[in-house]
Structure 1
Amino acid sequence: MTLAQLTAFLAAMEHGSFTAAARELGGAQASMSELVARLERELGATLFVRGGRRLVPTAAAIELQPHARRAVGAIDAGMDAVRSLSALEGGTCTFGVLRNAAYYDLADLVQRFHAQHPKVAVRLVGLNSALVAESIARGELEAGIVVLPVPEEGLAVRPLFRDEVLYASATRDPRGGPVSIDELAAASLVLYDAYAGWSDPTRRQLRERASLRGLRIEPAIEVEHVETALGLVASGSVDTIVSRSIAESPSFPAGVHVAPMDEPCFDTIALVQREGAHLSPATRAIASLAEQTLLSKLGDHEGRERMA
């Protein structure tokens, strides 16, 4: 059984004739017919009923088709992997990053990747993690870095590290100790990622905690960007929640204090791709660069814990 035989078989299955299969593959009709005939002899089974205007696949052909697709796909993936060992000479990289990527040392990810692989086209999408995960599940992006939890159906998820979620306020006494979910629900809050709303992973965690106590979290203000929210917090009119990575960044407002939750809360940062999908060499390369960048900085941040 050869790759040429399986390729001819799959083309004949798709197009219903050896003539159309030959047209797709750039060969002769007789050659396509002979390749399939050899395959039938090796298998000891008839794959097509011939004689009409279209080839009619038999039960044996229907049974063989998914295995043939996987075999041909695996060979193609292997050839791509070997070609990528020396250099990435083309192709397109589609990758998603969480909205606040700059706080996770990913601000210059595209610049560094492009310097290494200038012939690769890059499509980098920065959205709320819930939207990045949806785009990957739909096949619009190959992979991405997200905050969990997100809906995981159809996705392969590999957690990388946890980042503590903190309460941020300019008016709450920093000596007041941890913040309870009751205090959070009673506070006047500004929450960011307004477009994603309660599908945002961090918000989802806090809403579920409040719901278990019969409470609701109702923000006074919703904005899109964390920087806008922190500006309002610094004015003393509202409070918010942030990850420790944001709280420890140089741009964090000096007059804003943070406190942990009394029941510690964490964002889990993860690498996500479609389940069962083979990443292109370009996307594998940028995913590897993003992972290395994230994990190399863990020791610089208290409250960021690598996953096993």
Structure 2
Amino acid sequence: MELRHLRYFVAVAEHLSFTVASQKVHVTQSTLSHQIRQLEDELGCRLFEREGRRVTMTESGELFLERVRNALREVDDGVSTVRLAAEEMTGIVRIGATHTFNMRIVPRCVSLFLDRHPSVRVDVLEMTGDGIAQALLRGDLDIGVTYKPHDALPLRFEPLYTEEMVLAVGAGHPFARRRFVRMSELHQQRMVLLPRTFATRAVLDECFAMANATPVVVAEMNAIAPMIELVSTTGIAAIVSEHASRRDDVRIVPLESPTPMRSPGILWRAREARTPAARALASIIRTVCDAENRDGRRRNP
């Protein structure tokens, strides 16, 4: 049974004339009659009684008509919804992302999005978490991909996954060959950290306090790339995302007791309708982040 059989059946039922119905559905009368017979054979019952030019519906036809009309209405509504969404998938979607996400996740997500929606332009800005929050509040961004900012009350934060933070040291650092380092061992260690205006710094300060450790903060930098560069050429250590560095001259060492954890997520304006393009891009971000998180757990069981 095909969709056209049902449409042909409804046309005959509404007009009770194969001649008129064939004109409505743009097929010959003989083709229409043949299609209706196929439908009746498949159902195993007569839907119409034909007496010369007079056509009447059988009891089975009356019962079938109500269900078919409902089914076709659902199909037509679904087609209209999809077409409307496709028509709306135009314009620009603006996304703000912190450095770590802009290096890895965002380019992959944008690539997938543009493959599916080539008529939409994507504008990506690399910003701090607080900068993303402020831009969203001003209406300058549609989506933020970041860690939860200090004050996200006017916004809605949607966590994506939980990630560990690790120690980054140069190849000649005493901790470079360690399997793990306890937070307490960072007491009086020379370190470069994010400024206190970052939510991540608050997480790290809390972990230092729990371990009774006071590092010697010799530098503060508001971007990961220069922190990693400094680590690679000095005896200074940093604490960064486990995904932040892929350099051969920087060693990544897990931290324990406690392990600093943070949750990246999508930041939205609360109580505001989202464009179809923003919803579609967010869906891709969720899928990519979920896959990457699962891969990470398999690599580090």
- What interval of TM-score do these two structures reach, taking the shorter chain for normalisation? 0.5 to 0.7
> How has the CA–CA distance of structure 1 residues 112 and 175 changed in structure 2, closer, same or farther, with 3 Å as cutoff?
closer
Structure with greater Cα Rg: 2
Matched residue type, 2:152: E
Gap runs ≥5 in structure 1: 1-79
> How has the CA–CA distance of structure 1 residues 230 and 89 changed in structure 2, closer, same or farther, with 3 Å as cutoff?
closer
Of 188, 200, 203, which residue of structure 2 is paired with 1:202?
200
Does the CA-based 8 Å contact 1:97-1:146 persist in structure 2? yes
Does the CA-based 8 Å contact 1:177-1:259 persist in structure 2? yes
In 2, Cα distance between equivalents of 1:209 and 1:253: 28
Q: Structure 1, residues 33-61: CA drift from partner, whole Å, max 9, x if none?
A: xxxxxxxxxxxxxxxxxxxxxxxxxxxxx
Aligned to 2:231: 233
In 2, Cα distance between equivalents of 1:108 and 1:279: 22
Aligned to 1:291: 286
TM-score between both structures, scaled by the size of structure 1: 0.61
> How has the CA–CA distance of structure 1 residues 91 and 176 changed in structure 2, closer, same or farther, with 3 Å as cutoff?
closer
Aligned to 1:263: 258
> How has the CA–CA distance of structure 1 residues 300 and 101 changed in structure 2, closer, same or farther, with 3 Å as cutoff?
same
Aligned to 2:96: 96
Q: Structure 1, residues 233-272: CA drift from partner, whole Å, max 9, x if none?
A: 122421101111225xxx3334524131321211201112
1:214 offset after TM fit, Å?
A: 7.8
Aligned to 1:29: none
Aligned to 2:107: 107
> How has the CA–CA distance of structure 1 residues 234 and 273 changed in structure 2, closer, same or farther, with 3 Å as cutoff?
same
Of 178, 184, 187, which residue of structure 1 is paired with 2:186?
184
In 2, Cα distance between equivalents of 1:155 and 1:102: 21
> How has the CA–CA distance of structure 1 residues 257 and 124 changed in structure 2, closer, same or farther, with 3 Å as cutoff?
closer
Does the CA-based 8 Å contact 1:155-1:275 persist in structure 2? yes
1:283 offset after TM fit, Å?
A: 1.1
In 2, Cα distance between equivalents of 1:81 and 1:172: 61
In 2, Cα distance between equivalents of 1:109 and 1:286: 7
Aligned to 1:154: 154
1:102 offset after TM fit, Å?
A: 4.3
Within 5 Å, give how 1:53-202 maps onto structure 2: 84-170=84-170, 171-173=173-175, 174-175=177-178, 177-180=180-183, 182-191=184-193, 197-202=195-200
In 1, Cα distance between equivalents of 2:138 and 2:298: 33
TM-score between both structures, scaled by the size of structure 2: 0.62
In 1, Cα distance between equivalents of 2:252 and 2:157: 33
In 1, Cα distance between equivalents of 2:208 and 2:126: 29
Matched residue type, 1:105: I
Does the CA-based 8 Å contact 2:231-2:250 persist in structure 1? no
SS class of match (1:297): helix
1:292 offset after TM fit, Å?
A: 1.4
SS class of match (1:282): helix
What is the percent sequence identity of the aligned residues? 21
How big is the alpha-carbon RMSD for the aligned residues of Structure 1 and Structure 2?
3.0
SS class of match (2:227): helix
Name whichever of 215-224 and 291-300 sits farther off: 215-224
